[in-house]
Amino acid sequence: MIKINILIVTLILGGKCDGSTLRFANYYESHMVLQMAPKRANIWGLGTIHHRVDVFIDGKNVSSTTVDQHSQWRLLLPAMPKGGPHDIMVTSGTEHATIHDVLFGDVWICSGQSNMGFTVERLMNMSTTISDAQATSGLRIFKVKTVASNQTQREPQIAGHWQHPENDNGTKTFSAVCLLYALKLAPHLNRPIGLVESAWGGTPIEAWSSPNAIDACKHHGATRATPPHANSVLWNSMIAPITPMTVTGFIWYQGETNAYRAAAYQCQFAAMINDWRAKFRASSHQNATAKLPFGFVQLAANENKTMHSGWPDLRWSQTGGYGYVPNPSLPDVFMSVAMDLPDFNSPYGSIHPRDKYDVADRLALAGRAVAYGEQGLDFQGPFPTRITTGGSGVTIEYDNGNKPIAVRVNHGFEICCGHVGDHNCTTNHFVAAPIVSHHDTTVTISASGCHGNTVVTSVRYAWEMSPCNFKMCAVYGRDSDLPAPSFLRNRPF
């Protein structure tokens, strides 16, 4: 059982907090990665009110500032090229503080619940992963402690200090998805990568959302009022304190706890993404892009039983009701589809599948396209662009007929039948519609489930908690090997 650490500490808004000793904020440490050019890394710390603070990189004075009335100093470093190592020193009068072995590269925040917190030591190929991480130059990891708070904290509590991955407890207990994501990105980026894990198992999105994000959705509100499930308690202690960091983007693996409140999640997810972007930008002196890249893992398969609500509804809400990302509601967002990666016999429970390798492969591929703008990548699974009905079949065309598909099984589609004037599934009664034929870019499914004067009013695909066996859903990209995500389409098609 996870020990719940609860802080109920009021943020001191005046006076000489932490005495007069000059120092960096506690998560600005030796061996860390700071954001590289063209962005400027924001740094901050504590000192004596109204005293001047000078900052030096490798002995060269690069900037200065004054400690404010809350005992804080903060400033932007010059835009620094990738690499290092560097020494960064701050001085104030006779005091000084230095952090060593600092690299400049890209910084990613990795957050969510237990599947983001799923550790490296639980991977089936842990030793290989650790060896790969050790061999990846410029890779650094940091872990925020699981602490809930009713008040916004100035600094996070730390579970794992900045380090290069090693065959040690700090690496073994780090997020597997976070580490694997970086390992998949690294060969394509050729720059240092800093990873900040801030995750807590079993927690809802409400706990990670600021009060502003909570207020943005009328249905927003946690169902349990105790930490770590209450509104904003993890935002306060595990996200807000690190918002001054200049970062590249976020990856997120969460939603299991919200699966049976999926309708509200559509607003909640977009509100949280927009709010995190705005607050990281504001806290880093407007030095983050307005739409920081945000990647997420769409809910994976869970139990080996037929369930048509909850899990698939949440997957749909994760995409803002589009079925794919990025889209107009979720710009600069990317995802890894994981519904075809069940692990029904996982010793950690089927809700915690052990295959994080495919999850990270798909997420990093999408990140290269969306976050880094790499051209020519086929990073999305097939998605329907036209549906036509006629005779006893429904034909679904994928990607405007431009990308070939592969069909692995003939099941996974369902139809709903209704009257000609219906524009959705008014009965919420779907029947199986097996594939009867397929071509390079189309599948035709049976409409024989509609009898008499009824017509097909809705089509959905992979609308189950666990829609298929391992990598055996119906439709994949022939060349990309990526699964088609679940979808729901209503008349008129």
Residue 361 phi, psi dihedral angles, 5° rounding: -55, -50
CA angle 61–63–64, rounded 5-degree value:
110
Q: DSSP state, 483? A: B
370-399 per-position pLDDT tens digit: 999 999 999 999 999 999 998 789 999 999
Domains of the chain: 12-100 (2.60.40.10), 104-370 (3.40.50.1110), 384-490 (no CATH)
Give the predicted TM-score (pTM) of the model: 0.94
pLDDT, residue 289, reads 84
- DSSP, residue by residue, 282-335: HHTTT-S-TT--EEEEPPPP-SSS---SSHHHHHHHHTTTSSSSSBTTBTTEEE
- Convert the pLDDT of each residue in 220-256 to its tens digit: 666 667 889 999 999 999 999 999 999 999 999 999 9
| pLDDT of amino acid 224 | 66
pLDDT, tens digit, for every residue of 136-176? 999 999 999 999 999 999 999 999 999 999 999 999 999 99
pLDDT at 26: 98
- pLDDT above 90 for 426: no
User: How many Cα atoms occupy the beta-carbon half-sphere of 266 within 13 Å?
Assistant: 13
